[in-house]
Structure 1
Amino acid sequence: MPPAYTACHAPLLYRGEVQQLVQRFKFHADRHAGQLLVSLLAAQLRAVPDLERPEALLAVPADAARARQRGLQHAEWLVRQLAARLSLPVIEARRQRQGTAQRGLSRSARLRNMRGGFQVDGTLPRHVALVDDVMTTGATMEHLARCCLRSGADRVDAWAMARTPASRV
């Protein structure tokens, strides 16, 4: 079964210096690291020939308890910075329920963990892009994309700063 999202852009590999940069941003609320990640993604998106531009961006909603613990809603912060650079509006999605952390789970376990996890209020524009820091198996993006399609989007793209190398999934 093909994914619910139409296209995926995750230009960096989550390893080495990129992994350290993401971790500094995500776990230590280092906004300078976040700005660099946003700059890299925006530059990569601008370089994609014939990129179909979405009408709005949505952040993958964070687990509220983990966001409080980290001191930053990292995906929401990233999406707002990226939206400002690309002159796009941001639409908020919400977590319906808090799942267990995705870290260390298999793809099938991640898919089960995210089932029914998101909600988007109102009707979405025709084309939206989801934004997250790291894409590992695509399970989180898959569930949020399905939610967006149910809320009226015809096309959903998945954008992440980095992707986990296949050898580590």
Structure 2
Amino acid sequence: MKGACVGCLSPNATSGLCKPCHADLPANNWHCRCCALPLAHPGGDHLCGDCLTSPPPFDYSFIPWRYQYPVDSMISRYKYQGQRKFARPLIAGFVDYIEPALAAYGVEKPDILIPSPMHPSRRRKRGFNQARDIAESIGTMINVPVDINIVRRAHKVQTQRGLNRESRLANLRGVFKVCSTVPERVAMVDDVVTTGATMRVLASVLREAGAQEIQVWALARTPG
């Protein structure tokens, strides 16, 4: 079914974006194979400097777009204004992307999807947890269950916006608590990966709880 494009208002949009606007999305084609940090040049199996010097506790990151216009504007309007129509084309695009991306690395689908947990007070203020919303939408489309109870935030922290990775890691110390058995293969889900600090801390507690393979699934990755 076609409708209006959220980018240009063209009436010939499928899943919320017309073909020209979809083609304008900044694809994350050249990236670190571990954390998906965008790289300046193409390469087959490259790792970024951070993943070489300080390997993260997750194994793969699958993130189809760079957090640049118009993806940044679409996610912002979804995340902070609750306008889900801007997330739908990104979620649909992720679903089209993920199975070929997994196959390219010879990786199987995870046993469960784990949305990045949000403290209840912040969820009440925002009205929803965008990571849970994204995970549930993707999980339904590709038939992978979502577990929102396996990890919780033990306490509230200050907002991560504006902090560098070291400050974010310190801010998140001890914030996640595993509450039930963790399957061997999991994917952590969020809207945007910035410094990767949240995913590093979350992956650490999942690894300690028994996860053998940990993937990061997100819609967009910041360039640096």
What TM-score comes out, normalization by structure 1 length?
A: 0.93
Give the distance between the partners of 2:157 and 2:177, measured in 1 at CA: 14
The answer as to 2:198 corresponding to 1:145 is: no
**Distance in 2 of aligned mates of 1:62 and 1:43:** 27
Q: Which runs of 5+ in 1 are unaligned?
A: none
Deviation at 1:162, TM superposition (A): 0.2
Q: Which has the larger radius of gyration?
A: 2
Return the TM-score normalized by structure 2. 0.71
Gaps of 5+ in 2: 1-53
Are 1:16 and 2:72 an aligned pair?
no
Q: Secondary structure at the match of 2:125?
A: helix
Counterpart Cα distance in 2 of 1:119 and 1:53? 24
State the Cα distance separating 1:147 from its structure 2 match: 1.1
Does the residue aligned with 2:86 lie in a helix, a strand or coil? helix
Number of equivalent positions = 166
Flag the structure with more relative contact order, 1 or 2, with Cα contacts below 8 A and sequence separation at least 6: 1
1:66 to 114, 119, 122: 122
Return the match for 1:156 from 197, 214, 218.
Answer: 214
Task: Give SS of 1:159's match.
Answer: strand
Runs of 4+ that moved beyond 3 A: none
| Other-structure match for 1:57 | 113
Alignment of 1:4-153 (within 5 A): 4-48=57-101, 49=104, 50-92=106-148, 93-153=151-211
Q: Distance in 2 between matches of 1:101 and 1:65?
A: 12
Deviation at 1:21?
Answer: 0.6
1:112-148 per-position Cα deviation (integer Å, ceiling 9, x unaligned): 1111111221211100000000000100001110111
Structure 2 residue matching 1:24: 3-state secondary structure: helix
Take 1:69 and 1:122, find their aligned partners in 2: how far apart are those partners?
27
Q: Is the 8 A contact 1:97 1:117 kept in 2?
A: yes
Q: Percent identity?
A: 35
1:63 Cα deviation after fit: 3.0
